[in-house]
C-alpha cells in the first residue's frame, strides 16, 4: 500500500482499500503472529487486470465523417 498522499498507478490509498473491500483486486497482509499491525501488499496482476477492464475502447469514426468547420473569429 502506498503511504498517505502517495499513489500506486494513479490510485490513492483510499481507492485501493475500497477496491480490496469490493473484491476487485487482491491483497495480502503480512504480520508477526499475535501482532495487530502489519503490512498490506497489493497483488499487482489483479490490479493490472482491473485497470485493463477499465480501459475504454475508442469509438470508430464513420468513413464518411467530415471534420467540423472551425468557427470564424
Distances, alpha carbon 55 to alpha carbons 29, 66, 71, in Å: 29, 27, 33
pLDDT in tens, 26-63: 999 999 999 999 999 999 999 999 999 988 877 777 77
Is 43 within the bounds of a domain? yes
pLDDT in tens, 4-34: 677 777 888 889 999 999 999 999 999 999 9
Is 27 within the bounds of a domain? yes
pLDDT of residue 58: 79
pLDDT of residue 44: 92
Q: How far is CA 19 from the centre of its chain?
A: 9
pTM of the model: 0.65
Domain count, the chain: 1
Domain that holds residue 24: 7-52
Amino acid at each position: 500500500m502506498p503511504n498517505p498522499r502517495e499513489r500506486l498507478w494513479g490510485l490513492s490509498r483510499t481507492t485501493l482499500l475500497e477496491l480490496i473491500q469490493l473484491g476487485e483486486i487482491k491483497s495480502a497482509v503480512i504480520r508477526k503472529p499475535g501482532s495487530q499491525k502489519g503490512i498490506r501488499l497489493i497483488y499487482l496482476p489483479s490490479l493490472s487486470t482491473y485497470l485493463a477492464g477499465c480501459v475504454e475502447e475508442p469509438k470508430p469514426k464513420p468513413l464518411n465523417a467530415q471534420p467540423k468547420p472551425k468557427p470564424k473569429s
